[in-house]
A and B are shown apart, each in its own frame.
Chain A
Amino acid sequence: MEINIQKKVLEANETQADINRQFFKKHNTFVLNMMSSPGSGKTETLCRTLGKLMPGIRVGVIVGDICTTNDADRLEVTGARVTQINTDKFGGDCHLAANLILDSAQRLGCGDLDLLIVENIGNLVCPAEFDIGEDARVVVLSVTEGEDKPLKYPLMFRVADVAILNKIDLLPYLDFDAGLAVDNMKKVHPRLPVFEISAKTEEGFEPWLEWLKINVFEKTGTGL
């Protein structure tokens, strides 16, 4: 006997993501899901970004890692409200799912935040599959990785709304072809905005900050 089902397997996650989205909409909080492979410089990019945005913009950060609070400790120095999710107690998951986000956001006192950044677990595969109720997704690629990463991990670059090419201060010392890396991102996602930055020197930061501020102000309804 065949029983017809026709159901999305990740439906429970999508339902929770919609609940999260309604919650963030109610509080006028812009939510950014930041994803990359491990070691691309997400945390340093965030530390520098928060330094430029606060106190004018009220920022909270949810940091996902399998283990340790190292990233949260670094981010707390900026003065932002930070909470860490360790997924080892959930079986060492390689991504943050929607059900982990709402509790963390409430713990941060999300009600008066303008911007909530979720630093996802370093991984170019699984986080791309899981909607967490975010407004936008940013993928970070660094010049110490291969130029062909966008072609090897197309879903991640396809679902991203914006990309950062980080560590450009290292370009003089590497064989990395930044133009080729950007071309590969555009092959997967032709209209993807790409910001070439160095989190260390803050080169190229202005267009990235501008993009972020415009999106925050559109959501919060406040002026530039």
Chain B
Amino acid sequence: MHEMGIAQELVKIAIDSIPDDIENPKVEILNLKIGKLASVVEHSLTFCFEIIAKDTPLEDARLDIDFVPVTVHCKSCNNGWELTGPVFKCPFCEDGDVEMLTGREIEITSLELAD
């Protein structure tokens, strides 16, 4: 639902990252890292990105998304594990003092320019 705003930021950050001395740059791939608990729907983001990227160096670029699993750490018993569902209770000590380590990322890692 807010993928349009995210697509706008993607294009802005990507364009700002291209060195000025490259003439007529054309981005082929934009590499992203998105956490599985981030509220981003892939096909909505791709759809919005295509609209925003039109007439920019990112037109026709592909979004290559690396989905990051939700990993957590129990502060009480010091165990860590990967979540497969929305239950955050520690399965080892049954405590609830569980912090999230990964899974909320919405990041651009790199872009790949055509030769």
Interface residues of A (CB under 8 A from B): 1-10, 12, 91, 93-95, 97, 123, 125-126, 128-130, 150-151, 154-155, 158, 186-191
Contact = CB atoms under 8 A, between A and B. Distances in A.
A9 B107 contact: yes
For A8, A12, A91, which residue has the most chain B Cβ atoms within 10 angstroms?
A8
Interface of B: 1-2, 4-6, 9-10, 13-14, 17-19, 32, 37-39, 85-89, 95-98, 100, 104-113, 115
B107 A2 contact: no
Contact of A186 (B5, B96, B107): B96
Contacts of B96: 186, 189-191
Contact of A7 (B19, B85, B87, B107): B107
Given A2-B113, A91-B4, 18 more contacts: A3-B17, A3-B19, A4-B109, A5-B14, A7-B13, A7-B17, A7-B107, A9-B9, A9-B13, A9-B106, A9-B108, A94-B1, A126-B1, A155-B104, A187-B86, A190-B88, A190-B95, A190-B98
Contacts, number: 97
Contacts of A1: 112-113, 115
At the interface, is chain A mostly helix, strand, loop or mixed? mixed
Contacts of A150: 86
